[in-house]
Amino acid sequence: MARKGPSIQRLLLGVNVLVLLVPVLAVVLLRIYETHLVRQTEARLIAESVLIGEAWRAALHAATGVRPGDEPAIQPPHARHDRFFPIEPMVDLNRRLTPPEPPPTRRSRVMDGPAWAAGRAIKPMLDRAKLVNLSGARVLDAEGCVVASTGTQLGDCLDHLPEVNGALAGHYTAVGRPRMSDEPPPPLHSISRRGQVRLFTATPLFEDGQVVGVVRMSRTAIDPLEALWQHRQTLLYALVGSLLLVGAVSLFFARRITRPVRAITEAAEAIARGEARRPLTPGGKVPAEVFQLSQALDTMTAQLRERADYIADFAANVSHEL
């Protein structure tokens, strides 16, 4: 027996809503994925900056004669009694990017002392690490001046930058800036990244609650298209699965409409051929309009059958009387 289901209008509306949601959902997921890639890049920069900072700290202790076991506490002021104090990524792409980095406004007056000696000690390590990590690293002293670098700016003071200023105040700070490049985007398989956002992190180094240095890292965030290319095989599987899902949904909605209509047509043709009457109402759950149509046709067929039987009986009675 047929059961009244949703109307054809609602079924078509459901299909149209599904089609509309696909691109909207794709845009939202792409934005979420891009944010994840930026946070992933920032997390790597944080890990690198911690290791570089500890290497510089060890060299600084060697330059100042601090003996093992006498090292000052490295906890930040807000976590003075905590055993662990992890740093979480903070860059949010929903906020406006920071303007491009302005040139330094001053240089260090003195390029000597324990901080500089520690910087020279870790310089070879920074250069070797850059060959693998591809990240830019700057170690700054307590005044915000560069004492070790994987590139230029040695001796430049960067305390005018918001991320460095925040780190000198004792807070981990990270910003995203537009990537400035005159070169065309590199190929998808290149080691150079195609991203349009370059991340800058500034991690403060504490000793007894005071900032003694800052590690500033920079790296271009990976582009979503580049990340999808790296996972192209998985993406291909997902595309095939999506096509199968779309085909299954289309077939489901098509059968919900065409199956009961076909059943009504076959029943009507059987009645037209003079076969025994059978109900025009199809079985199962059918769209509301098809359900109403089948009931109306079934009622009309029954009434026509009754009138035909009445006329036949009346004609038989008249012929018998004559």
Question: Which residues, in sequence order, are CB contacts of 261 under 8 Å at separation 6+?
Answer: 290
pTM strictly above 0.75: no
State the Cα–Cα distance between residues 241 and 244, nearest whole angstrom: 5
Instruction: Identify the bridge partners of residue 107 per DSSP, sorted by sequence position.
Output: 156
Kindly report, residue by residue over 121-176, the tens digit of the pLDDT.
999 999 999 998 889 999 999 999 999 999 888 999 999 999 999 999 999 999 99
> Taking the CA of residue 39 as centre, how many other CA atoms within 13 Å lie in the half-sphere pointing to its CB?
13
Would residue 284 be called left, alpha or beta, if left means φ above 0 and alpha means ψ between -120 and 50 degrees?
Answer: left
Residues of the chain falling short of pLDDT 70:
1-9, 11, 180-195, 224-232, 267-268, 270-290, 297, 304, 308, 320-322
What b-and-e string marks burial along 230-256, b requiring 16 or more CB atoms within 10 Å of the CB? Answer: eeeeeeeeeeeeeeeeeeeeeeebeeb
Q: What's the sign of the alpha-carbon dihedral 175, 181, 185, 187?
A: negative
Number of neighbouring beta carbons within 10 Å of residue 281: 21
Per-residue pLDDT, 80: 85
Domains of the chain with CATH codes:
8-180+187-222 (3.30.450.20), 234-321 (no CATH)
State the Cα–Cα distance between residues 273 and 25, nearest whole angstrom: 52
Kindly report, residue by residue over 244-274, the tens digit of the pLDDT.
887 887 787 777 777 777 777 776 676 666 6
